[in-house]
Each structure stands twice: as structure tokens, then as C-alpha cells.
Chains A and B, each alone.
Chain A
Amino acid sequence: MNFNATLIGQSITFLVFVWFCMKFIWPPIMNALAERKAKIAEGLAAADRGKHEQELAKKRATETLQEAKQQAAEIIHRAEKRAADIVDEAKHDAVEEGNRVKAAAQAEIEQEVNRARETLRGQVVEIATAGAARILKRELDASANDELIKDLVTRI
């Protein structure tokens, strides 16, 4: 064991290496490590958030689906009701139309009857007048019996 200047050389070398390490090796690597740590933490948080959001979306989707189902059921129900209404209305309309047609036909028949009656009445008056004229031609003046005939006509 002889000590010599190697001691001094080694000490200087050592301090230079430590200085270099402190300046150019340790900080960049530690920075990279810290940065990566932050990045990983961020990623984990984002994943958690995503999971939570997915759950929410799932819940929302279920709700929407249920709502849609309900709406569809309602729409079908309404449509059915409407269809029933339409059928009812149509039935009603048809009955009314039938009634109307029947009433019109009846009115026409009545009119025809009346007209026929008028015609008949006129003809009866003529016949009666002619008959009466024939009967009374000799004895009675036509004008004197006019009143009697008129009375007869109204009674027909």
C-alpha cells in the first residue's frame, strides 16, 4: 500500500464525474420520469372519467329506449282509437246519408202524390163539372150551381 498522486488524480476525476452526472444525467432522466408519472396519472384519470361517462351514456340510452317504447305504445294506442273513431264516424255518416236519401225520396214521393192528387182533383172537377153540366143542363143554369161545385171540389 503506497500512497501516491493517484489519490489526487482519482479525487479530481471523481468530482468531475459527479459534477457531470449532476448536470447532464440526473436532471433529464428525473424530469422524464416525473413527466411520465404525471402522464400516467392523467391517463388513469381520463380512463376513469371515460368509464363514468360510458355508464352515464348507458343509463341515458336505456332511458331513451324506454321513453321511445312508451311513445310508440301511445302512438299505436292513439292510432287504434282514431281508426275506431273513423269507422264509427263513417258508420254514422252512412246512416245519416241513408236517412237523408230516404227523406228526400219520401219528400219526392209525397210531392208526386200531391201533384197526382192535384191533377186528379182537377180532372175530377172537370169530370164533376162535366157530369153536373150534363145532369143540370136542362134544368139549372150553370152559373147558379157554381158555388155548389166549388164546395164539392175542395172536399175531394
Chain B
Amino acid sequence: MSAAPETSAEYIKHHLTNLTFGKFPEGHEHAGHWGFAHSMQDAASFGFWSVNVDSMLFSIALGLFFIWIFRKAAKTATAGVPGSWQNFVEWVIEFIDDSVRGSFSGKNMLVAPLALTIFMWIFFMNLMDLIPVDWFPAVAGLLGVGHLKIVPSTDPNITFGLSLSVFALVLFYSVKIKGPGGFAGELTLMPFQTNNKIVQALFIPVNFLLEGVTLISKPVSLSLRLFGNMYAGEMIFILIALMYGGGVVLGAFGGLLQLGWAIFHILIITLQAFIFMTLTIVYLDMASQEHH
């Protein structure tokens, strides 16, 4: 349990609060000052122009970690006999390359590196979920930091940041490859089609509504799926951690549960990273395909 004695509800809330930095609004005791939020309400009151420092910090650190270990292998990559590290990196890269070749029919230099970045980065961010939930917040508490969420992918800002970037790429390639007219046609002339011009004109708003929903649902489902899975997993870890406060027997049972859930979670975090990557490839493939 963390430093201060608290109720279960407080404990859970504490673990679900980001370390948010922003400007306190009017009516607050620190009104007009910049600072860290003390509670969820504070964080919400900051409005849009605030930053979840913990999510940003951990996601950047994990991204840099990915960049660093893969760059190390890339620098020493030769056609000769690979070392064990290079071998592993090549295995990952070939796996990504196979996935891209399997799902992406066009030729695009961006897609494979994009898929690799998404897969490894999300995997590392999800992997933070396996670290016992109290370790980092406890250390942060000793250092005077009130809140700390170490799993960036349980922050919707992070998952939406990823999926909206992917969505921007989808829009970009849709317009670039199909042309603005082609893309607009795809949004308005399908799925309902007819040879009658007047009826076709009537179909345009209906088609646009349907296709618009389809289009918008891509980034939303992409990010919410990852966020939902990781958030739920994190929540279960927190609930299990609550059992440690309930005596030796309950604590031991909690330990068993945590072990089981962690092992199961290894599958989930890998799967979620893979799903995010595969769907990204598929969406980009759909964006790059000419419809007939």
C-alpha cells in the first residue's frame, strides 16, 4: 500500500490519477498558478492545455529505449554471422516484415518501419503493466511526487495520440493515392449505388453518413481497444494489490492471483500490440487501394 493510510476507494483513485501539470483555473486556491494536480478534479479543471507528465515521460523513455536497442543492432548489422542480440532484432523485424507483406499490397517505405515502431513501442508501454502497481508510485511518493501512472497505454491521451497519428496518415495516403475526388467519391458513392442519377444524388448523404462513421470508427476503435484492455488489466492488478492489506491468507491468495494474472497478461499485452500494428497496416492498405 502506498505511503498514506487510505480507504480502498482512495487507493484505487490514487492509482488511476495521472501526474498532470497545468494551470489552475479561477476559483481554485492556487488560481492562476502552474503546478501539478492534486486530484482527478484538479486535473480535469486544467482543461486541454495541460500535460500528463508521467505518461509523456514513460512513453518517451520507452520509445527511446526501443530506438536505442534497435539502433544498436542496426549499426552493427552485417551479412555475416549475427550475434544473439542482432539475431533477436532480425527475428522481430522479419516477423513485422512478414506481417506487412501479408496485409499491405502496395509499395510504401513508411509502412514497415511504422509497424515496427507501433509494435515495439506499444509492447514496451504495455509491459510496464507487469511491474507491481505500488513500486513506482511508492518511490515517487518518497520523492514527493503525489501521483504516478507508469503504464502510458492506460492513458487515453497516449492511445489516441497514436491512433490519431495513424488516422492522419490514413487520410494523407487516401487523398494522395485516390486523389481528393476519388477519396470524396469513396465516402459518398458507396455502399449504395444506382444508375439513376437522381436517386444516386439522394444516396449521397446516406452514404456519407455510413462511410463517415466507418472512417471515424477506425481511430476510435483502435485507441479505445488498446486503452480499454490495458486500463482493465491495470484495474485488476490494483484490485489484487488491495488484497495485500487484508491479512496473511488473503495476501498469499492475492500473490497467487497476481502471478496468474501477470502470466495471462503477457499474452494480452503482446496481442494488443500486435492487433494495433496489424490494424494500422490494414487501414493504410485500404487507404492505398484504388477502388473500382
Contacts and interface: CB of A to CB of B under 8 A. Distances in A.
A46 to B, nearest CB: 15
Nearest to B92: A29
Instruction: Give the size category of A's interface with B.
Output: 20 to 34
A31 to B, nearest CB: 7
Interface string A1-19: 1111111111101110110
A50 to B, nearest CB: 21
Interface stretch (A20-28, A117-125, A128-136, A143-151): A20-28
B55 to A, nearest CB: 6
A35 B161 contact: no
A10 B48 contact: no
Contact of B67 (A8, A10, A20): A20
A39 B78 CA distance: 11
A15 B47 CA distance: 25
A43 to B, nearest CB: 11
Interface residues of B, number: 51
Contact of A6 (B67, B117, B121, B157): B157
A25 B156 contact: no
A3 B113 contact: no
B90 interface: yes
A32 B90 CA distance: 9
A15 B114 CA distance: 9
Interface centre among A1, A6, A18 (most CB of B within 10 A): A6
Nearest to A28: B74
Interface string A79-94: 0000000000000000
B97 interface: yes
A26 B116 contact: yes
B204 to A, nearest CB: 32
A35 B20 CA distance: 48
Interface of B: 20, 22, 43-44, 46-52, 55-56, 59-60, 63, 66-67, 70-71, 73-75, 77-80, 82, 89-90, 93-94, 97, 109-110, 112-114, 116-117, 121, 155-158, 160-162, 164-165, 168
Given A3-B157, A30-B93, A31-B77, 11 more contacts: A3-B48, A4-B51, A7-B160, A9-B56, A14-B162, A17-B117, A18-B117, A21-B114, A28-B75, A32-B78, A38-B79
Interface of A: 1-11, 13-15, 17-18, 20-22, 24-26, 28-33, 35-36, 38-39
